[in-house]
Structure 1
Amino acid sequence: MQAVTEIEPLPDDLIAWVASQRAAGHSSDALRAALLQAGWEADMAQQALAAAGVSRPAPLPLTTAASASAAPGPDLRGTPLRIDAGDRRVAVLQTVALPRAVLFGDFLDDTECSALIELARPRLARSRTVSLGTDAEMVHDDRTSDGMFFMRGENPLVTRIEARIARLLNWPVENGEGLQILRYRPGAEYKAHYDYFDPADPGSGTILRRGGQRIATLVMYLHEPEGGGGTYFPEAGLDVLPRRGHALFFSYPDATPASKSLHGGAPVVAGEKWIAVKWLRQGRFD
């Protein structure tokens, strides 16, 4: 495939290739990424997907009383330097328009970071991803961390942090998945990906019936590696360093690549990186 810089008729072989790859089980997001990497402009990539019958269903309706326009996020009116998160005031260090992202300081203290690590350590296992074609989880080479999940409200520490998240991001506790703890050793990484689920993927219906779509992520940094391990957004040229106690929020309420929320965890060069991740859903997650 050759690079295209202006609107022109789509080659038949391009449409056939997209259709064959979709039939093989690849997601629309994966195909779009492949087309962009090959040099096709975003609008031509979208036309090729549409011509091959790869469409994205309308987003699921919200399953709570929140209005359809509601989305999680901090109240940044007045450009505050700190925000009341209930049991503490959290610093606002940086904001980004696209992707919609906010970097917070002083979200977790040293005691909380250490406690989460020690509670999670004996329960770690190789991290998994949701497999194409089903709602099952599988080990994938793109994700080489170790991890575990706390149930929502599993212990007083998790309950306190979840309440802080809900207050800071103005989103109900029950609309959040369980807190995930991840450890990245030297060489471990998570290649660029989207956190939302592609509704066009087989098996996504079962996932989306349980709380609706993911629409935002909060990454909390628990332990700093000696080198590497940043959270990067390749389309935005944004790289967030994993500073202990900081938290990175980003959202994608429309669940499309236009959110510029494609992101990854860069390989750890030395030491270990520990993070906690909270995914927020449209509705109640049970």
Structure 2
Amino acid sequence: MKAKTVKRNWSGKTNTLSFSSVFLICIFFFLGGYFCSTLVFHSQEDENGIRPRPMTRLLEKSAKEETEYNLLRAGESGDDSITSIPFQVLSWRPRALYFPNFASSEQCKSILNMARGRLKPSALKLRKGETKESTKGIRTSSGVFISASEDKTGLLDAIEEKIARVTKIPRSHVEAFNILRYEVGQRYASHYDTFDPAVYGPQESQRMATFLLYLTDVTEGGETMFPFENGLNMDGSYDFEDCIGLRVRPRKGDGILFYSLFPNGTIDPTSLHGSCPVIKGKKWVATKWIRDQERKKSRIG
């Protein structure tokens, strides 16, 4: 008896069905993957509907690559290199910036030693009707003015040049360094570095910006404060003594830059600032006032 031969049906019809099935399966997986990726993508949107960029990869890539700059030819007073000085914006009202490690510990110590033994009680510019007795207690620090030209080591000259770089204001606009010392309990009540003509009379020029270089750490107290930051506490109830608002703790070698004038030359009311009382330790700071006009040579730092 002959075995029956089983013939498989390899007709075109069967082939067509198999191809259609595979095609449908591929479409199904494609649509499913697209749908899931869309959900994940939209779930990463922030509350404003802005999707985050893959910054990690970009940062990793930029950190590994060395950037070359095609510098332009500098003028007679320009630089043939790029200067990088790290900073952090602390506030826009007032405009205040923080410069970590602006000066080394050795530089701070040298500046402090220049002033030691030459300190006198800090003075206060009086308004009409005020006397030294009536303003007693507002400013209780000791200080001395030292110009960069007095320092034969060149240290103050270098610090002053660095300040000019971060402010983009020529050194011809600066005053001499005012080196200040605050001991326990000493302070400077909130005030403006500018002199309002309505209060102090006509001014030859105005202090448009202030740079503070902290020469020591302070264990407790001694913060630089801005009580009117972002327009707060300006309802007339502030007594100019409370240590409130934006407060910057002194750290050796760090610097603070803030502007007292708006770009149009008017006084920024939020630039009111002061020095909180020192509670523990001593506070030494080098102050550099910057004018909106060139200073006379005899008074330039």
Shared fold (TM-score, shorter chain, > 0.5): yes
Q: Look up the equivalent residue of 1:91 and give its one-letter code.
A: P
SS in 2 for 1:165: helix
**What's the TM-score, normalizing by structure 2?**
0.61
Larger radius of gyration: 2
* 1:173 aligned residue (171, 174, 183): 171
Whole-Å separation in 2 of the counterparts to 1:137 and 1:105: 37
2:120 corresponds to which residue?
Answer: 125
Decide whether the 8 Å contact of 2:194 with 2:267 is kept in 1. no
1:100 to 95, 103, 109: 95
- 8 Å contact from structure 1 (residues 226, 271) kept in 2: yes
* Identity among equivalent pairs (%): 36
- The superposition leaves residues 107-159 of structure 1 with CA deviations (integer Å, 9 ceiling, x where unpaired) of 1110110000000011101001111239x999742001010001243211111
Deviation track 1:40-68 (CA, whole Å, cap 9, x = no partner) reads xxxxxxxxxxxxxxxxxxxxxxxxxxxxx
Residues 20-31 of structure 1: pairs in structure 2 closer than 5 A: none
Answering whether residue 137 of structure 2 is matched by residue 141 of structure 1, we say yes
Amino acid at match of 2:114: L
Q: How many residues align?
A: 197
2:210 is aligned to 217
Residue of structure 2 aligned with 1:246, choices 247, 254, 261: 254
Q: Which runs of 4+ in 1 moved over 6 A?
A: 85-88, 136-139
d(CA) in 2 for partners of 1:87 and 1:132? 45
Report what 2:107 is aligned to: 112
Q: Which residue of 1 aligns with 2:282?
A: 272
| Counterpart among 228, 234, 237 of residue 221 in structure 2 | 228
Q: Could you list the runs of 5+ residues in structure 2 that have no partner in the other structure?
A: 1-78, 230-244, 297-301
Indicate if the aligned counterparts of 1:217 and 1:249 stay in contact, CA closer than 8 A: yes
Deviations 1:226-259 (A, max 9, x none): 1100001111221111011111100022465644
Change (3 A) 1:244 1:89: farther
SS in 1 for 2:140: coil
Cα RMSD, aligned residues only: 2.6
In 1, the alpha carbon distance for the partners of 2:161 and 2:227 equals: 31
Gapped regions of structure 1 (runs ≥ 5): 1-84
The answer as to whether partners of 2:224 and 2:247 remain within 8 angstroms in 1 is: yes
Greater CA drift, 243-252 or 150-159: 150-159
Q: TM-score, normalised by structure 1?
A: 0.64
Q: CA deviation at 1:169?
A: 1.0
3-state SS, counterpart of residue 201 of structure 1: helix
Instruction: Check if 1:260 corresponds to 2:260.
Output: no
